[in-house]
A and B are shown apart, each in its own frame.
Chain A
Amino acid sequence: MSLDHPLARRLLRVGALIAITASALVWILPVAFILAASLKPDAAVLAEAGGLKAFWPSPPTLENYGDVFDRVAFGRIFLNSMIVNAGIVLGGLLVNSLAGYALARLRFRGRAVTIALMLALLIVPLEAIAVPLFYEITFLGGRDSYWAQIVPFVANAFSIYLFYSFFLGLPKELEEAARVDGAGPFRTFFQVVAPNARPAFASVAIITFLLSWGLYLWPLMITSTVDVRPLPLGVAEFRTLPPLQWGDVMAFAVMMIAPAVVLFLALQRWFVAGVATAGVKR
C-alpha cells in the first residue's frame, strides 16, 4: 500500500492527530490539575491526585483563594511583580526597538561588530553573570529595590535581534517619505516606523513578560523583604509556610499564571504575525 493510498493518508492523519493531542495533554494536564486543585478543599487535593478525580473539583470552592489573601500579603507581592514586569517590558520595548532600529538603518563605524557582539550575547545566560552583577548592583546601592530587578533585564540581545530583523524587512520608502515630509529621526521612528511594527512590539512584549514573570534566581539574590519580592519568590516561600496547605498553594499558582495567560490572549494575534514575519523580507 503506497503512501498515496486514501486509507494510508487517513491513517497518517489519525496518527498525527494522536501524537499532537498526546503532546498537548502533557502540557495541559498539569495546568488543569492546578486549576482543579485550587478549587478543592485542602484535604481532597492529595487524596484525589492519583485518579481522574484530580481534574474535577466537586463541589468547587473558592475557600483556598481567600486563604491565600489571609495568610500572606498576596496583593503586595502581586503588585511587586506587576511593577517590576511593567518596568522590564516597557523599558525593554523602548530601548530594544531603538537599538534594533539603529542597527538596521543607521550606517556607523563599528556597526558590524556591534551586531556580532549582540548575537554573541544571546548565548550568555544570567546564571553566568549573576555573581558579578550582584556585586555591581550592591555597589550601586540597589539591594532590595525595584530598579535592581528591572534595569539588568531592560536591554536584551534577543529583543534587539528580533526588532533588528523586523526593521530590516520594513520598506525604507516609508521612512524616506517621512523625512522628506519633514519628520526628524525620532518622529519618523515613533510616528511612522513603530505603528507599522506592531507585530514585533507584541512579540517582544510577550516574550519579555513571560521570561521576566518567572524570574527566580536574581530576585532571590538581590531582595530580602516582602516589600519588593515578586511572585515566584512568594509562591516558594508560601509553600514553606506552615501549615502546608496544597489547595492554597495551587490557588496561589493559578493567580500567578493568570496575568501571563491574559496578556498572551490579548496579544496573540500580533505575536503569531511577529514570529512569522520577523526576519522575512517582504
Chain B
Amino acid sequence: MGAIELDGVEKVYGGGVHAVRGLDLTISEAELLVLLGPSGCGKTTVLRLVAGLESLTEGEIRVAGRRVDQMPPSKRDVAMIFQSYALYPHMTVRKNLAFPLRMRGASKDERARRIEHVTGLLSLEPLLDKLPGELSGGQQQRVAIGRALVREPAAFLMDEPLSNLDAQLRSRIRADLAELQRRLAITTLFVTHDQTEAMTLGDRVAVMREGCLQQVGTPDELYRSPTNVFVAWFVGSPSMNLVRGRAAEGVGTPTVTLVGDTEASFRAPSMQTGEGDVIVGWRPEDLALGAPEGDRPLLNGSVSRVESLGSERLVYVQTGLTTTSPEGEDGSGTLVVRTPTSGPVPRPGENVSLLVREGSEHVFGADGVSLAATFHPRRSGPAAGT
C-alpha cells in the first residue's frame, strides 16, 4: 500500500487536445479519492496516466514513493478495474484470477493461496469454473475486483466500475466496495461522473473540469463550501440555483440585489465586502415556499412543475430573475425548491412566495470564484469562468 502523488501533470494529445492541465494531487495511503467531473473533463485520462496506458506530456507520478511515469503499466504496481470489467472471455473465473499472478511469475502454491484468499473475501467460490459470459453483471463486477485484489497492488484504479449495473445492484455493490476498501485499506483512485457515487464513496472528492482541478475536499466541504460556480453547480442534485445579481456595500454588511425582470435585495453577511456583478447560489433545500414566521419572502413566483420523489418534493418556481449556469448562459428564471411531502401539493400555475434560509447563500464573483468571507483562494488558476 502507498500514496499516489501527481505533480504538475500535463497531458496533450496528438491532435493538440489539452486533456489534463497542471494537475497536482495526492491520494494518501489507504484513502479513497474520487475524481469527479462531466464527461470529457480529463478524469479518465488521469487514471490512464497513473496506470501507464497513456504517456505523460509533463510532470511526475509517484506510487508508494516510487517514480513510475516512465515505467510500463506492468511495473507500476497498480491494479485497474475497467468500466466494462474487461474479464478475459475465454478464461474461467479461476484463470482470470490467476492471469496477473502468472504474468508475475508467482509459484503454483502462491497462486492457489492468493486465489483462495480473494475467493473467500468476495464469495467467488461457486463461480470459479464458469466463464465470464455465464455470469451476471454483478458477478462479473466481483470477479473484476477479485482480479485486481489478487495482485495485492500498492494502489487501485477504478474507472466508473459501477456504471454498467442497474440502480439497485449499484447501491449495494457501492456499499460493499466502500466496506472492502476500508477493511483492506487500499489506496484507491476512483473515477466517476455520478456525483451520488462520489459523495457516498469518497473520503475526499476531486472535481475536474476541462482538464483542470477545480476543488479537492470531503464531500461535505464540496457541498457546503464550493470554491467556484462550477463545483457549486456540479455537486448536488438537483443543482444549486444560480441567479445573477449586483453587490453593493451596505451599512456593515454587503447587500446583493438580484436582477432580472423583477429585482429582490438581501443582505449577505457571509460574503466578502465588494461591489460589482455577482452570481448568487442557493441549494434547493435552502429555499422554501409560503410564509412561515420569522422569515421574510424573497420574492414571488408561480409554480411551473412539481416532481414527487416519495420522500420529498421538488417544486419548480418561475420567477422574473435571471438564472444562469457555469457556462454563463442565462436560464429561464426557474428556481428549484426541495420541500417535504407533508402539506398540500402545489399546483402548476399557483402563485407562491419564496423564502430563503438566512445565511445559506453562496456568492461568487463575475469570474465564478467564491466570495465567501471564509474562503481564500490558494490558487488563481483553474477557476470556472463565466
Binding site for B on A (CB under 8 A): 171, 173-174, 176-184, 187, 191-192, 195-196
Interface check B72, CB cutoff 8 A: yes
Partner among A176, A187, A195 whose Cβ is within 8 Å of the Cβ of B53: A176
Task: Kindly list 19 other residue pairs between chains A and B, CB separation below 8 angstroms, not including A173-B82, A173-B84, A174-B89.
Answer: A171-B86, A174-B86, A176-B53, A176-B80, A176-B82, A177-B82, A177-B88, A178-B88, A179-B53, A179-B72, A179-B73, A180-B53, A180-B74, A181-B74, A181-B99, A181-B147, A182-B100, A182-B104, A192-B88
Q: Give the shortest distance, in Å, between B5 (CB) and chain A (any CB).
A: 19
Partner among A176, A182, A183, A195 whose Cβ is within 8 Å of the Cβ of B86: A176
Q: Give the shortest distance, in Å, between B170 (CB) and chain A (any CB).
A: 20
Q: How far is the CA of A111 from the CA of B53 in the complex (A)?
A: 20
* Nearest B-chain residue to A179, judged by Cβ: B73
Q: How far is the CA of A181 from the CA of B105 in the complex (A)?
A: 12
Question: Contacts A180-B80, A183-B74, A184-B74 known; A173 to B103 CB distance under 8 Å?
Answer: no
Please give, as numbers and ranges, the residues of chain A lying within 8 Å of B51 by CB-CB distance: 176, 180
Q: How far is the CA of A108 from the CA of B89 in the complex (A)?
A: 29
A-B pairs with lowest CB-CB distance, top 7: A182-B103, A173-B86, A181-B100, A177-B86, A182-B74, A195-B90, A179-B73
Q: How far is the CA of A103 from the CA of B339 in the complex (A)?
A: 58
Assess the A187–B103 pair: CB atoms within 8 A.
yes
Q: How far is the CA of A179 from the CA of B54 in the complex (A)?
A: 12
Please give, as numbers and ranges, the residues of chain A lying within 8 Å of B89 by CB-CB distance: 174, 196
Q: Give the shortest distance, in Å, between A93 (CB) and chain B (any CB).
A: 17
* Nearest A-chain residue to B84, judged by Cβ: A173
Please give, as numbers and ranges, the residues of chain A lying within 8 Å of B86 by CB-CB distance: 171, 173-174, 176-177
Please give, as numbers and ranges, the residues of chain B lying within 8 Å of A184 by CB-CB distance: 74
Q: How far is the CA of A179 from the CA of B75 in the complex (A)?
A: 10
Within 8 A of A (CB), among B60-114: 72-74, 78-80, 82-84, 86, 88-90, 99-100, 103-104
Please give, as numbers and ranges, the residues of chain B lying within 8 Å of A176 by CB-CB distance: 51, 53, 73, 80, 82, 86
Q: How far is the CA of A182 from the CA of B74 in the complex (A)?
A: 4
Please give, as numbers and ranges, the residues of chain A lying within 8 Å of B103 by CB-CB distance: 178, 181-183, 187
* Nearest B-chain residue to A195, judged by Cβ: B90
Q: How far is the CA of A179 from the CA of B89 in the complex (A)?
A: 16
Assess the B73–A180 pair: CB atoms within 8 A.
yes
Can you sample 26 A-B contacts with CB below 8 Å?
A171-B84, A171-B86, A174-B88, A174-B89, A176-B51, A176-B53, A176-B80, A176-B82, A177-B80, A177-B82, A177-B86, A178-B88, A179-B53, A179-B72, A179-B73, A179-B74, A180-B79, A180-B80, A181-B100, A181-B151, A182-B100, A182-B104, A183-B74, A183-B103, A196-B88, A196-B89
Q: Give the shortest distance, in Å, between B302 (CB) and chain A (any CB).
A: 50
Interface of A is mostly: helix
Q: How far is the CA of A174 from the CA of B83 in the complex (A)?
A: 11
Assess the A196–B73 pair: CB atoms within 8 A.
no
Q: How far is the CA of A67 from the CA of B78 in the complex (A)?
A: 69
Please give, as numbers and ranges, the residues of chain A lying within 8 Å of B301 by CB-CB distance: none
Count of B interface residues, CB-CB < 8 Å: 22
Q: How far is the CA of A183 from the CA of B103 in the complex (A)?
A: 6
Interface check B365, CB cutoff 8 A: no
Partner among A180, A183, A195, A196 whose Cβ is within 8 Å of the Cβ of B78: A180
Please give, as numbers and ranges, the residues of chain A lying within 8 Å of B226 by CB-CB distance: none
Q: How far is the CA of A96 from the CA of B80 in the complex (A)?
A: 31
* Nearest A-chain residue to B87, judged by Cβ: A177
Q: Give the shortest distance, in Å, between A170 (CB) and chain B (any CB).
A: 10
Q: Give the shortest distance, in Å, between B233 (CB) and chain A (any CB).
A: 32
Q: How far is the CA of A174 from the CA of B82 in the complex (A)?
A: 9
Please give, as numbers and ranges, the residues of chain B lying within 8 Å of A171 by CB-CB distance: 84, 86
Interface check B52, CB cutoff 8 A: yes
Q: Give the shortest distance, in Å, between B67 (CB) and chain A (any CB).
A: 18
Q: How far is the CA of A219 from the CA of B90 in the complex (A)?
A: 40
Please give, as numbers and ranges, the residues of chain A lying within 8 Å of B80 by CB-CB distance: 176-177, 180
Assess the B88–A180 pair: CB atoms within 8 A.
no
Q: How far is the CA of A180 from the CA of B80 in the complex (A)?
A: 7
Q: Give the shortest distance, in Å, between A184 (CB) and chain B (any CB).
A: 7
Please give, as numbers and ranges, the residues of chain B lying within 8 Å of A195 by CB-CB distance: 88, 90
Please give, as numbers and ranges, the residues of chain B lying within 8 Å of A196 by CB-CB distance: 88-90
Q: How far is the CA of A180 from the CA of B100 in the complex (A)?
A: 8
Counting chain B CB atoms within 10 Å of each CB, which of A180, A183, A195 scores highest? A180
Q: Give the shortest distance, in Å, between B149 (CB) and chain A (any CB).
A: 12
* Nearest B-chain residue to A198, judged by Cβ: B90
Q: Give the shortest distance, in Å, between A281 (CB) and chain B (any CB).
A: 14
Q: How far is the CA of A179 from the CA of B72 in the complex (A)?
A: 8
Partner among B52, B83, B84 whose Cβ is within 8 Å of the Cβ of A180: B52
Q: Give the shortest distance, in Å, between A74 (CB) and chain B (any CB).
A: 40
Q: How far is the CA of A181 from the CA of B84 in the complex (A)?
A: 16
Please give, as numbers and ranges, the residues of chain A lying within 8 Å of B78 by CB-CB distance: 180
Please give, as numbers and ranges, the residues of chain B lying within 8 Å of A174 by CB-CB distance: 86, 88-89
Q: How far is the CA of A179 from the CA of B151 in the complex (A)?
A: 14
Q: How far is the CA of A195 from the CA of B90 in the complex (A)?
A: 7
Please give, as numbers and ranges, the residues of chain B lying within 8 Å of A177 by CB-CB distance: 80, 82, 86, 88
Q: How far is the CA of A126 from the CA of B74 in the complex (A)?
A: 45
* Nearest A-chain residue to B151, judged by Cβ: A181
* Nearest A-chain residue to B91, judged by Cβ: A195
Please give, as numbers and ranges, the residues of chain B lying within 8 Å of A183 by CB-CB distance: 74, 99, 103
Please give, as numbers and ranges, the residues of chain B lying within 8 Å of A182 by CB-CB distance: 74, 100, 103-104
Please give, as numbers and ranges, the residues of chain A lying within 8 Å of B104 by CB-CB distance: 182
Please give, as numbers and ranges, the residues of chain B lying within 8 Å of A192 by CB-CB distance: 88
Q: Give the shortest distance, in Å, between B330 (CB) and chain A (any CB).
A: 40
Q: How far is the CA of A182 from the CA of B151 in the complex (A)?
A: 10
Q: How far is the CA of A176 from the CA of B147 in the complex (A)?
A: 14
Please give, as numbers and ranges, the residues of chain A lying within 8 Å of B82 by CB-CB distance: 173, 176-177
Q: How far is the CA of A196 from the CA of B88 in the complex (A)?
A: 9
* Nearest A-chain residue to B14, judged by Cβ: A107
Q: How far is the CA of A61 from the CA of B279 in the complex (A)?
A: 98
